[in-house]
Amino acid sequence: MKNFSIIIVVLLAMLTVSSIFVINEGERGIVFQFSKIKRDSAGEMRIYEPGLHLKIPFIERVNKIDARIQTLDGAPDRFVTSEKKDLLVDSYVKWKIVDFSTYYVRTAGGNIDNARALLKQKVNNGLRTEFGTRTIKQIVSGDRDSLMEKALISAESSKADLGIEVIDVRVKQINLPKEVSNAIYERMRAERKAVAQEHRSQGREKAEVARATVDAKVTIMLADAKKQAFTLRGEGDATAAKVYADAYGKDPEFYGFIRSLEAYENSFSSKSDIMVVKPDSDFFNYLKATKK
């Protein structure tokens, strides 16, 4: 009898434990009774808020749904601009469930993967529309905030369609497809190369002009220097000639004697010098006079 009482107590405890379920903060619960969703008196799906609740053991089961803010961050998607240029856009979405009944029905039993796929499709449709009305320059030069704001507005329909509220839509990164990037880089490289070549040509042209200008100045300076040298030399020769003439005019005999001595000195500067002239030549006039 005592053992039977213990069994009854254990069974009652198990029934009590299995009839209690807890919905944590950040969660919502849906109770199924014989595979059918439990509804309230108005026939609406009953959503259990955080707290301690009761259910019928072995008959009812609880399905918990995450009610926290979640992030949808998938692979980059390809969008087309108004210029028909492809862009790879990496974005993310912050969202949460606000209508659990609609969410459960539209996502085939609260399947999170289905929810993400449907939400991504809606957000991408909004982004595709916004990218399609803008050029690459507009997107890159600062119109991104307006683009994300309008994409967020266009995603508001998900609240009625999916029971999901889109809190924020953000574009993290915008890239060109690899084949387009390579083509653009090659074009930029060719343009920079052409500009560099033009600068080099202009530099060479300016160098030639500067070199020609310097050469012309040098030529003019050399010509002026030669002119001054010739002028000074001529003036010096004229002065020397005048000095010689004045000296000769004062004492021609003495001047002739000095000139003859210089001629003798220059003619017989070496012992091996030989001169063949007639003895009665005028060259030896002063030697003859000295001999006498």
Please state the rounded mean pLDDT for residues 61-71: 89
pLDDT at residue 142, as a whole number: 65
Exposure b/e, 241-253, CB count within 10 A at least 16 = b: eeeeeeeeeeeee
pLDDT score for 214: 92
Residue range 18-55, pLDDT digits in tens: 788 889 988 888 888 887 888 877 778 888 889 988 88
Distance CA 272, CA 32 (A): 145
| The predicted structure's pLDDT at residue 187 | 80
Domains and CATH numbers, the chain: 2-66 (no CATH), 70-176 (3.30.479.30), 251-291 (no CATH)
Give residue 93's pLDDT: 92
pLDDT number for residue 145: 78
pLDDT over threshold 60, residue 290: no
CB 76 within 8 A of CB 40: no
Check residues 271 and 206 and name the one with the higher pLDDT. Answer: 206
- Do residues 92 and 152 make contact, with C-beta atoms less than 8 angstroms apart? no
Between strands 47-48 and 77-80, the pairing is unpaired
Asked if residues 52 and 43 have their Cβ atoms less than 8 Å apart, the reply is no
**CA geometry: angle 228, 230, 233, nearest 5 deg:** 105
Q: What confidence score (pLDDT) does residue 2 get?
A: 66
Show the 3-state SS of the chain.
CHHHHHHHHHHHHHHHHHCEEEECCCEEEEEEECCEECECCCCCECEECCEEEECCCCCEEEEEEECCCEEECCCCEEEECCCCCEEEEEEEEEEEECCHHHHHHHCCCCCHHHHHHHHHHHHHHHHHHHHHCCCHHHHHCCCHHHHHHHHHHHHHHHHHHHCEEEEEEEEEEEECCHHHHHHHHHHHHHHHHHHHHHHHHHHHHHHHHHHHHHHHHHHHHHHHHHHHHHHHHHHHHHHHHHHHHHHHHHCHHHHHHHHHHHHHHHHCCCCCCCCCCCCCCHHHHHHHHHHC
pLDDT at site 292 = 43
pLDDT band at 133 (very low <50, low <70, confident <90, very high): confident
pLDDT reported for residue 291: 44
Structure-model confidence comparison of residues 81 and 245, the more confident one:
81
Query: pLDDT exceeding 70 applies to what percent of the chain?
Result: 87
Length of the chain: 292
- pLDDT the model gives residue 186: 80
pTM here is 0.56
Angle in degrees, 0-180, between the axes of helices 252-267 and 178-250, rounded to the nearest 10 = 120
Q: What is the mean pLDDT of the segment spanning 95-111?
A: 88
Q: Which tens digits make up the pLDDT trace of 210-264?
A: 999 999 999 999 999 999 999 999 888 888 888 877 777 777 777 777 777 777 6
On average, the pLDDT of the chain sits at 82
pLDDT above 70 for 173: yes
In tens, the pLDDT along 151-166 reads: 888 888 888 888 899 9
Nearest to 119 by CA among 150, 68, 156: 156
Residues in CB range of 82: below 8 A, 6 or more apart:
132, 133, 134, 135
| Other beta carbons within 10 Å of 34 | 9
Residues 287-292, mean pLDDT to the nearest whole number: 51
pLDDT, position 288: 61
